[in-house]
Amino acid sequence: MEQILIREDNFDRARKLIKENSEKDIIFSSDDEETARKVLEKENIKMLLLNQAGRKDFQKQRNSGFNHVLAKLAKKKNIIIGINFDEIIEAEEKEKLKILARIKQNIKICNKNKLKMKFIIQNPKNKRNILGLKSLALILGMPTDMIKDL
C-alpha cells in the first residue's frame, strides 16, 4: 500500500489531510505534542513519526515529544512509532547526542508498552544497510523482539 507523510501542527488541517488520503498508509508527524495526541485519539493513522531536532529540554528532564499517555493511545490503536533517521545523520555533534538520548528514552517507553518501532529514512543519500540500523537499535537499548520488525 502507498504511504504518505503528513507533517502538520494544526489539528483541523491535519484531520482534513488524513481524510483526503484515507486509502493510503499515513505516517503522521507533528512538532506539537497536543496535536499528536489528538490525532492519535481521533484519527486512523499507521505510524507516528517523532521528530527530535529543534526541541528544547526541560531543566530536569528531556523533552522527547513522547510520553506514557501517547504510548497507551498508540498501543490501543496498534500504531507504529517512527524514528526519524535523517535527523540523526544530518545533526551536528552536540545536537546528535541529544537526539540519541531522546530516542533512547522513547525506546524505553515503547518497550514498556510493547509498541513497535521503525526507522524512517526520507532522504535517499541517508539510506543504510539494515544490519547497521539493527546494530544502532541494539546499542540504543531496543530489545531483540522489537528489532525483528525494523
The domain that holds 72 is classified in CATH as 3.20.20.140
**Taking the model in full, what pTM does it have?**
0.89
3-state secondary structure of 122: coil
Domain that holds residue 61: 3-147
Q: Is residue 74 over pLDDT 80?
A: yes
**Count of domains in the chain?**
1
User: Per-residue pLDDT tens for 105-115?
Assistant: 999 999 999 99
Cα–Cα dist 133/83, whole Å: 11
Cα–Cα dist 118/99, whole Å: 16
* Residue matched to cell numbers 499528536: 36
User: Per-residue pLDDT tens for 75-117?
Assistant: 999 999 999 999 999 999 999 998 999 999 999 999 999 999 9
